[in-house]
Chains A and B, each alone.
Chain A
Amino acid sequence: MDLTWSPTDIAFRDEVRAFLKDKLTPELRRAGRLMTSVYSDHEASLQWQAILHERGWAAPAWPVEYGGCDWSLTQHYVFSRESTLAGAPALSPMGIRMVAHAIVAFGTQAQKDFFLPRILTGEVFFCQGYSEPESGSDLASLSMAAVDDGDDLVCTGSKIWTTHAGEANWMFGLVRTSRTAKKQQGITFVLIDMTSPGIQIRPLVMTSGEEIQNQVFFDEVRVPKSNVIGTIDDGWTVAKYLLEFERGGGAHAPALQVMAAEVAAAAASQPGPAGGSLIDDPAFSRKLADARIRTEVLEILEYRVLAALAGGGHPGSASSMLKVLGTELSQALTELAMEAAGPRGRAYQPHATSPGGPVAEFEPPADGYVTGEPWQAVAPLRYFNDRAGSIYAGSNEIQRNILAKAELGL
């Protein structure tokens, strides 16, 4: 039993660090640091993807034959950890980290040949069409109709919480192809060309003022059957497979460490309620210590899952636990950052941040004035956007349902 990395892993870590030092420009680093949510600025994210692609590291978790890396699990963890610690922009999770895995596992050769290389270059950019206005946590109740018409499915209905629908040129989604007694049956997993006639996008202005999420309307949109992944009516199998990727290979701790260090530095620079600096305020410093303790412990939990996977095990419902712990901790840290930001944290100044999408109804001051430091502008927006953590990818209540059944046999 020990907590040390092997010399091979250390050598790999140094290689990754050298790469990041060399390629991560100050502009990209800035975009990463000033993110207001889990979504980077679209352009910065694509630029970083191109740099990674050149090195062969854009999609390390893919099979090697499609451009993945022949890495051990530890190396995957090290790569993701170092990228986060260095402040690299996040890549959009929808293409590389999600739908690609479904295409690899369930797609035809033609689908693989068309989509996988284009996802890697960024030429194909995916959004996700799962949730509907009436189907949130009860995803399998979804009702967007797909009517069989020769070589096509004709789709009518609407999807919601579609991240980057405006930027994306493809959507992967779930549609209803037949109604049976069991709601999980009769769902089909399709890839939809977003330039098809009949698609309308309505951006949703989030509490942060950003337009990251959208509602997408489909009016008799024709989707060729050649764009079905897996078989018609059996899309739930594909969706369940993908959920495991969505909930994570679980590496929340590095990002949380960065957040905690930022909060600590911020608190050291700000006045405390009773004189001195905020970091010396006993109430604040204990809240921060509590969050950091939880982060240290979460890292060990993530190592344990990693060690189990490396030994041929399966994360199983542990990924549900890591999702709950990671997102709740992240929310606690965004709240502490908000507190540390002080009076300036109440100013709305998205122009000092790197927003995840267009900002609605906002004119920045002509002279670009910003009160305080950029992190103080980021803090409230992150706090608002991070409420999503306990809602997306299966709400934390749904995760607790899963854990009650799987871990406790209830």
Chain B
Amino acid sequence: MDFTLSDEQQLLRDGLTRFLATRYDLEKSRSAAKTGAGWQPEIWRAFADELGILGAAMPEDVGGIGGGPVEVMVIAEALGHALVIEPYVDTAVVAAGLLRRADGGVANALLENVVAGRAIVALAAAEAESGDRWQDAAATARRDGSDWVLDGAKIMVVGAPIATHLLVTARTTGGLSLFCVEVGAAGVELHGYRTIDDRRAADLVLTDLRLPADALLGAEGQAWPSLDLARDEGAAAVCAEAVGGMRRVLADTVEYCKQRQQFGQPIGSFQVLQHRMVDMHMELEQSIAAVYLAVLNLDAEPTARARAVSAAKATIGRAARFIGQNAVQLHGGMGMTEELAIGHYFKRLTVVQYEFGSTDHHVARYAELTKE
């Protein structure tokens, strides 16, 4: 039973936190999101070259540091605290995990590029008809000689407009398969947009998309177990990210309530607001514990892993909603503007509740897994 970080993990956290405090500006990142390229490439470069966080959880043979879920937790929490919009979880956790488990020539080469910051990879799994039920994808891939030909459509592919590569799920005769696609390939139509939490995403239409044989990642029809794990890894990572955001939001709210004067006294002296903030504090503490539960079970067998991740995602979903909504409420009208950080964090904390399975989905999955 040990809840302390190793010296290396603490160095990682401190270095990244220092970097973000001095180099990651909230306003600048919002401008990039709204009127710029959607991200800050020089920040991504620094993630790879100066900080090495893109390969922190990847093996050394692809240029990584050889860490695991705890490293991802430390990184994601720091990024969440600074409200970083660059696609760390989507590329360096979800896509990187899929590539590592695919373990082929194409996958390993691409993974090296991810770790080095040269490639951004986005997962195209959600569809209009099946939503977040990735296992029910309707896009198809059929063999044509040694090639694969893909048809179908994907929605909400986070990071796609700034990505170099896409990982696309498609149904083949044997089941669900995963393919690697270069952005710009003929047969891929990309409709980009901004998300409500200031990220870039896109819908894709695939028409007679022709891919070479080695674009198939892993065994044909056998992609689900790896996708299922990627979803849990993504869920655990956004849980840690949300903890970072919630820490900042609660601290800002407490500070605001100490300063804001009404009726001749700080509003933080009113018991009804004090108790609300204590409830926010307790939701945050439970979220921190829930992240440990998920992260320290990510390598367990699938049922134990799924149960722990669902417990965590349900807890964080509940907390992100409660803390986000009440942070806005306690800031009054100012909490609804874009002038304070709180409004931006609130948007991210809202989206987190739905990513990698909604709160309700995870409560239901937990109920199913704990049925005697």
Q: Do A and B interact with each other, yes or no?
A: yes
* In the assembled complex, B263 has its CB within 8 A of some CB on chain A: no
Query: Inter-chain contact count A-B, CB under 8 Å?
Result: 122
Q: Is B290 an interface residue (CB 8 A)?
A: yes
Q: Are B370 and A289 in contact (CB under 8 A)?
A: yes
**Which residues of A (66-86) have their CB < 8 Å from a CB of B?**
74
In the bound complex, how far is the Cα of B277 from the Cα of A409, in angstroms?
A: 11
Of B49-57, B147-155, B281-289, B336-344, the one touching chain A: B281-289
Q: In chain A, what residue has the closest Cβ to B74?
A: A1
* Contact of B2 with A300 in the complex, beta carbons under 8 Å: no
Q: Which of B106-114, B124-132, B194-202, B267-275 contacts A (4 or more CB under 8 A)?
A: B267-275
- B138 CB–A CB distance under 8 Å: no
Interface positions of A from 329 to 372, Cβ below 8 Å from B = none
Asked if residues A265 and B268 are in contact (CB atoms below 8 Å), the reply is no
B278–A4 touching, CB < 8 Å: no
B322 within 8 A of partner (CB): no
Any A CB within 8 A of the CB of B29: no
Say whether A18 faces chain B, with CB atoms less than 8 Å apart.
no
Identify the interface centre among A289, A296, A304: most chain B CB within 10 Å of its CB: A289
* Chain A, interface residues (CB within 8 Å), range: 35 or more
Instruction: Provide the residues of chain A in CB contact with B18, threshold 8 Å.
Output: none
Q: Is the interface of B mostly helix, strand, loop or mixed?
A: helix
Which chain A residues border B292 with CB–CB below 8 Å? 1, 3, 300, 304
Is A292's CB under 8 angstroms from B290's CB?
Answer: no
B370 touches A264 (CB 8 A): yes
Q: Tell me if A303 is interfacial: C-beta within 8 Å of chain B.
A: yes
| From B281, B289, B315, B371, contact of A304 by CB (8 A) | B289
Tell which of B3, B285, B366 touches A293, judged by Cβ atoms closer than 8 Å: B366
Q: Which residues of B contact A300 (CB under 8 A)?
A: 289-290, 292-293
Q: Which among B254, B295, B311, B315 is the interface contact of A410 at CB below 8 angstroms?
A: B254
Query: At the interface, yes or no: A151 with Cβ under 8 Å from chain B?
Result: no
CA distance A303 to B282 in the complex (A): 16
Given contacts A268-B372, A286-B367, A296-B293, contact A403 B3 (CB under 8 A): no
Q: How far is the CA of A301 from the CA of B274 in the complex (A)?
A: 22
* Interface check A196, CB cutoff 8 A: no
Give me the interface of B with A, judged by CB distance under 8 Å. Answer: 1-6, 9, 70, 254, 257-258, 268-269, 271, 274-275, 277-279, 281-282, 285-286, 289-290, 292-293, 295-297, 308, 310-312, 314-315, 360, 363-364, 366-367, 370-372
New A-B contacts (4) at CB < 8 Å, excluding given A1-B4, A279-B372: A289-B366, A306-B1, A407-B278, A408-B281
